[in-house]
């Protein structure tokens, strides 16, 4: 009989905050590299270095035996989902300001709260559901459907890429919660890094010579399909940093969703929004337009409400559980 998931909220929150901080650095570094290297090369180098660090964590958490799993199929699906999430988001980064892409991606905690109902059986009341709807309205505001394509600075499909990344990321973390009862965080990170390596190596074999990018001026297409090149010496340290970051991100996020309820942990990922604005301004001299600020405010307020409501319900339930135990 399988044991139920653990629920250590404070520990889960700490892990998710560390993971989100590292994600913000990861996104900033990848945006810096997006003008000179193909996405699949960056992903391959990052994941190859990252899996080495993750295997060290495997040894610390129990050795090679913890890599064994009774549910390989779910791990494969989880790995493919996170690969799709990362690639769609990074393709958006090549064409959108960092803060805009990140703000749209932060539909992910809303998706997590919503999808935790059918997938995990978690209870989400009408007030939290209303907050989630309010947050999705913020996503629509950032899409600016009333504007023409020439006024938003990117194709409509590019604006939808971070939302697709958010949905697949949410599904990934919900599967992490289901797998967390029997898999260590370091093992979950290794499975993901391995999937990144397999997919990016496939891109190398099929499109590594850059022939599919010839004739295209679209920055996202160029980023996805341009030819592999040997990194400049100054960029080797960036690739090394990305690899270390990938190991930390994979471990921390896997651990966060292993030890705490998805609906409790997810709102803390909003810390990534101000971090994206910070890096976008100080590194790329970018600031969000007015509609994006409105959307950010709506998503943040939605997430904060969901968190406060969750904490209130948890605190209110404690005396009831205490009375039941005392009978």
Q: What is the pLDDT of residues 55-69, one digit of tens each?
A: 998 998 889 998 888
- How deeply is 204 buried, as exposed, middle or buried, from its count of CB atoms within 10 A (0-12, 13-18, 19+)? middle
- 245, 22 contact by CB (below 8 A): yes
pLDDT band at 250; cut points 50, 70, 90: confident
What is the pTM (predicted TM-score) of this model?
Answer: 0.78
At 313 the pLDDT is 66
Whether pLDDT at 221 is above 90 = no
- Give the residue-averaged pLDDT of 203-229: 87
Q: Residue 3 has what pLDDT?
A: 44
Name the nearest CA neighbour of 168 among 84, 249, 262: 84
Boundaries of every domain in the chain: 9-315
> Above 70 in pLDDT, residue 148?
no
Q: How far apart are CA 71 and CA 68, in angstroms?
A: 9
- And the tokens for 160? 């939808």
293 vs 264, residue with greater confidence: 293
The reported pLDDT for the residue numbered 1 is 41
The tokens describing 13, both together, are: 């929150």
pLDDT in tens, 156-209: 788 889 999 999 988 987 887 766 556 787 888 888 889 999 999 999 999 888
User: Rounded CA gap, 253 and 191, in Å?
Assistant: 13
pLDDT tens per residue across span 80-137:
998 999 899 998 988 888 888 888 888 887 888 888 888 877 777 788 888 889 989 9
pLDDT band at 42 (very low <50, low <70, confident <90, very high): very high
Instruction: Say what the pLDDT of residue 18 is.
Output: 93
More confident site: 7 or 103: 103
> Binning pLDDT at 50, 70 and 90, where does residue 324 land?
very low
Task: Name, in order, each residue with C-beta under 8 angstroms of 90's C-beta and a sequence gap of 6 or more.
Answer: 27, 30, 34, 39, 42, 43, 223
Average pLDDT over residues 253-268: 77
Q: How many angstroms separate the CA atoms of 161 and 173, rounded?
A: 18
- 8 A C-beta contact, residue 100 and residue 142: yes
Q: Mind giving me the DSSP string for 302-323?
A: HHHHHHHHHHHHHHHHHHHHHH
Residue 63 DSSP one-character state: -
Cβ(18)–Cβ(185) below 8 Å = no
What integer is the mean pLDDT of 13-28?
91
154 or 132, which is more confident?
132
Residue 261: the pLDDT is 75
Q: Residue 253's CB: how many other CB atoms inside 10 A?
A: 28
Q: Between residues 28 and 7, which one has the greater pLDDT? A: 28
């Amino acid at each position: 009989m399988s044991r139920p998931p653990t629920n250590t909220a404070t520990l889960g929150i700490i892990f998710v905050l560390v993971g989100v901080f590292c994600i913000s650095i990861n996104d900033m570094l990848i945006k810096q590299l997006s003008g000179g290297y193909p996405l699949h090369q960056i992903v391959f180098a990052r994941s190859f270095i990252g899996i080495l660090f993750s295997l060290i964590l495997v040894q610390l958490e129990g050795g090679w035996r913890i890599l064994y799993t009774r549910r390989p199929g779910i791990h494969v699906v989880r790995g493919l989902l996170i690969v799709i999430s990362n690639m769609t988001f990074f393709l958006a980064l090549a064409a959108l300001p960092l803060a805009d892409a990140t703000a749209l991606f932060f539909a992910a905690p809303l998706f997590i709260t919503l999808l935790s109902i059918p997938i995990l059986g978690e209870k989400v009341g009408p007030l939290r559901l209303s907050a989630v709807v309010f947050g999705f309205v913020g996503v629509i505001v950032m899409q600016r459907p009333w504007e023409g394509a020439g006024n938003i600075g990117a194709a409509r499909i590019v604006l939808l890429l971070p939302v697709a990344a958010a949905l697949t990321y949410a599904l990934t973390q919900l599967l992490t919660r289901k797998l967390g009862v029997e898999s260590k965080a370091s093992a979950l990170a290794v499975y993901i890094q391995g999937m990144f390596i397999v997919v990016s190596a496939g891109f190398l074999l099929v499109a590594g010579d850059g022939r599919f990018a010839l004739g295209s001026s679209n920055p996202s297409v160029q980023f996805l399909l341009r030819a592999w090149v040997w990194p400049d010496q100054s960029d080797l340290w960036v690739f090394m940093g990305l690899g270390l970051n990938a190991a930390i991100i994979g471990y921390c996020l896997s651990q966060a969703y292993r030890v705490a309820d998805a609906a409790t942990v997810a709102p803390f990922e909003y810390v990534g929004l101000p971090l994206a604005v910070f890096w976008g301004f100080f590194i790329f001299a970018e600031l969000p337009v007015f509609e994006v600020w409105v959307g950010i405010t709506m998503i943040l307020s939605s997430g904060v409400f969901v968190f406060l409501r969750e904490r209130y319900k948890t605190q209110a339930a404690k005396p009831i559980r205490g009375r039941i135990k005392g009978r």
